[in-house]
Amino acid sequence: MDFGRVITAMVTPFDGDSRIDRETTRRLIDHLIEEQASDSIVVCGTTGESPTLTDEEKLELFRLAVEHAAGRCRIIAGTGSNDTAHSIHLTKEAEKIGVDGILLVAPYYNRPTQRGLYQHFRSIAEATRLPVMLYNVPKRTGVNLEADTVIRLAHDVPNITSVKEATNDIGQATRIIRGTPDHFLLYSGDDEMTLPFMAIGGHGVVSVASHVAGRKMKRMIEAFLEGNVKEAAALHGELSPLFKGLSVFPNPVPVKYALKLQGLDVGGVRPPLANLTEEEQATVRKYIQPS
């Protein structure tokens, strides 16, 4: 399945007591679809603070997103973990709710071999009929999902249809694109790498910045696809300070602050993340609100 060019990895709105804020979540979904032109939304990914969400909260968010989006965009459920059996359970529950796809992060902390990664992803994907997007983010997981493993999974498991490659490794991305079937899509998992990955055959981005600059990011991709490389490069340059500002502190702390500056207060973050101090807020503003 093609999830579109711009997929937003959605933050999870919290109220003052760090509980899920359902009404603000609905407002945020509307904002991402109507104002930021998201083609799909990832619910309960890294940006959604998945490590601090219970299974019950994740299922509630999947259900809320499916019901409120009501077909206006696709909903991708983050059901991956470092426990294969647990991921299978959560994936099956998400499928019952009616999500459109599954995002599976590489297992973190236990650092499996490539053979272990292959078996992990294949077992989960074979437990569902939904399209599966692999998620490689070595700086968070401590393990790299190598190109050969992605290629093997793409050929062996029909419903593994894409990968979110959250690295700046052009060589690895190139090998994945060349070695996988034509229907298999590579998405950048790093906003800054969107245009470079498009240049080697990438399909789009699973984005944080699209919370606040989705339409500009989509235009950058469209300009490149139209052959207007100069416009695409100019837009990349315009967006680059924003990309930097949203990564200067741990995600999703800066983007939650950026949304607040735009008038959509999605609350703070759950521990062990910490909200920005006034000094840190000034640092983020320096990038995202240049004079």
Residues in the chain: 291
E strand map for the chain: 6-9, 40-43, 74-78, 101-105, 132-136, 160-165, 185-188, 204-207
* DSSP-derived secondary structure letter, 254: H
Q: Which two structure tokens, joined as six digits, stand for 83? A: 């426990």
Contact of 151 with 173, CB cutoff 8 Å? no
State the catalytic residues.
Answer: 135, 164
Alpha-carbon distance of 271 to 190, in angstroms, equals 24
- CA-to-CA separations, 285 to 66, 208, 252, 259, 280, in angstroms, rounded: 33, 16, 15, 12, 9
